[in-house]
Amino acid sequence: MQRSASFEVKVYPELWKVLDIDIERLDKMRMVLGEVYEKHFLSQENRPKGMAYFDWVISEIHGGRIKEILEAKREGRVVVGTFCIYIPEEIILALDGICIGLCAGSPGTIPDAEKILPRNICPMVKSAFGFNIAKVCPYFQSVDFVYGETTCDAKKKTWEILNEYISTYVMEIPQMKREHDKRLWLEEVKLFIEKMESLSKKKLTLERLLEGIKIMNAKRKALQRLNNLRSFNPAPISGKDCLLIEQIAFYDDPIRFTKKVNELCDELEEKVKRGEGVKDPQALRIMVSGTPMALPNWKLHNIVESLGGMVVNEESCIGTRYFKDLMPEDFSDLESALKALVDRYMKIDCSCFTPNDERVEQVLKEYRDSKAEGIIYYSLAFCHTYNIEAYKIQKACEKEGIPFLFIETDYSPEDIGQIQTRIEAFFETIRERRR
């Protein structure tokens, strides 16, 4: 796990051949990823030593973790691919399964997807779908089935087509949070349990579920701990590195991941005590809110931090929305535990919900907690719910006197110059407030 002078994402041609991967194309993607990663991550100054583990994870992204997954499958464990934080991971873990995030943040496979899907839908949906049909994603080729959900129209209609290529199980996500919506979600959770039990040949018990809850609580506490450390000035870790860790959280082994995040936090806490940071204390502190940034989408963070800013929080599904809520660990029966599980997931303030005032309140809370000086609201093109909800977030920011910038983009590098110009102007506005 040592950094080398020239970073390499490792190649596994024999493994890829077994998985029926387009080896030539994946190899090209692998090389580009290595170059980009070295440029944007390994070039950072004052980088914590604990980031070496996460560098190693990226170097093994197409092989090491895949080998672990395939070995688990040989042991009879069920591997579930997912695109949403609404999947009840506790249940998968309770039944000795593995949960793997399949969201994609690369423009490389979008042309493949657009041969089937419309051009004017979410780039994340197109990118992920393209990775599957082009056979350039070892994770897609390794899962037992894909978990889809109904948080947006583009997704729920794409799942019908994706099911022609890989087994896709869809859960209905309620779009409101009334009591009968919760009952609907509880029934959906119970149906998902039946699905997992039939594949795993195991029965969900209270003891098994509690074990899954404890693993997820520990993982979320570690991510909370990391995020809280970003509130210090100077920040002991860059926003880019935190985003990377949050992305890795969706496919790394959860127990090992939790251990490594806590080890990193131990190091960061010592840096805080010594007053050491990765940037000058005068760096502008920016909170990012909005749609998730799937790996390897580091576009906005790269721009913000190359201009001298510091991203100190991500209010998104890749960020705090994933780990802000924990589960109780003291239940007397399985039914009460499942109801508490439903309550926990219904706290997720995805923009698919209406009304969604709690998300507005959460954005303001996280802004204050992170000690940010401005909010960049990031939305992927054609993500209608987040695009529309930006209006309410902006109104709330104006009322509170919070500098606000709305950025709508996709995975293409073509608008980087334009975004950079707008962020430079935004930064100048914040500096004026400082004077």
* Whether 77 contacts 96, CB under 8 Å: yes
pLDDT at 435 (0 to 100): 83
pLDDT at 1 (0 to 100): 36
**Residue 165, SS3?**
coil
Among 328, 402, 327, residue whose Cα is nearest residue 366:
402
The secondary structure of 76-95 as a DSSP string is T--EEEES-TTS-HHHHHHT
**Residue 338, SS3?**
helix
The partner residues of 109 in beta bridges, in order of sequence, read none
* Whether 7 contacts 34, CB under 8 Å: yes
Query: Rounded mean pLDDT of the chain?
Result: 96
Among 108, 139, 141, residue whose Cα is nearest residue 36:
108
pLDDT in tens, 21-77: 999 999 999 999 999 999 999 999 999 999 999 999 999 999 999 999 999 999 999
Q: Which residue has the tokens 């947006």?
A: 152
Q: What's the burial of 133, exposed, middle or buried (CB within 10 Å: 0-12/13-18/19+)? A: buried
> Does domain 280-324+349-434 match CATH 3.40.50.11900?
yes
Per-residue pLDDT band for 3 (boundaries 50, 70, 90) equals very low
Residue 4 clears pLDDT 90, i.e. is over it: no
Summary count for the chain: helices (H), strands (E): 18, 8
Per-residue pLDDT band for 116 (boundaries 50, 70, 90) equals very high
CA distances from 433 to 83, 216, 430 (A): 40, 41, 5
Q: What are phi and psi of 40, to 5 degrees?
A: -90, -25
Q: Are strands 310-315 and 404-409 parallel, antiparallel or unpaired?
A: unpaired
Q: What's the burial of 260, exposed, middle or buried (CB within 10 Å: 0-12/13-18/19+)? A: buried
- Between CA 430 and CA 310 the distance in angstroms is 13
Q: Which residue has the tokens 């995805």?
A: 350
pLDDT at 2 (0 to 100): 39
Q: What are phi and psi of 143, to 5 degrees?
A: -75, 155
Name the percent of the chain lying above pLDDT 90: 98
Q: What is the DSSP letter of 5?
A: S
pLDDT in tens, 145-162: 999 999 999 999 999 999
Tokens of 222: 């570690």
pLDDT in tens, 257-297: 999 999 999 999 999 999 999 999 999 999 999 999 999 99
* Whether 321 contacts 351, CB under 8 Å: no
CA distances from 148 to 86, 93, 162, 294, 309 (A): 10, 18, 10, 16, 36
pLDDT in tens, 209-240: 999 999 999 999 999 999 999 999 999 999 99
* Whether 366 contacts 312, CB under 8 Å: no
pLDDT at 44 (0 to 100): 96
Per-residue pLDDT band for 6 (boundaries 50, 70, 90) equals confident
- In single-letter form, the type of residue at position 69 comes to I
* Whether 309 contacts 431, CB under 8 Å: no
Tokens of 122: 């979410």
- How many CB atoms within 10 Å of residue 205? 12
Mean of the pLDDT values across residues 321-336?
97
Strands (E), 125-177: 145-149, 168-171
Q: What is the dihedral of CA 198, 199, 201, 205, to 10 degrees?
A: -70
Residue 242 clears pLDDT 80, i.e. is over it: yes
- How many CB atoms within 10 Å of residue 414? 9
* Whether 143 contacts 80, CB under 8 Å: yes
Q: What is the dihedral of CA 147, 150, 156, 162, to 10 degrees?
A: 0
- Between CA 433 and CA 403 the distance in angstroms is 9
Alpha-helical segments (H) within 4-51: 13-18, 23-37
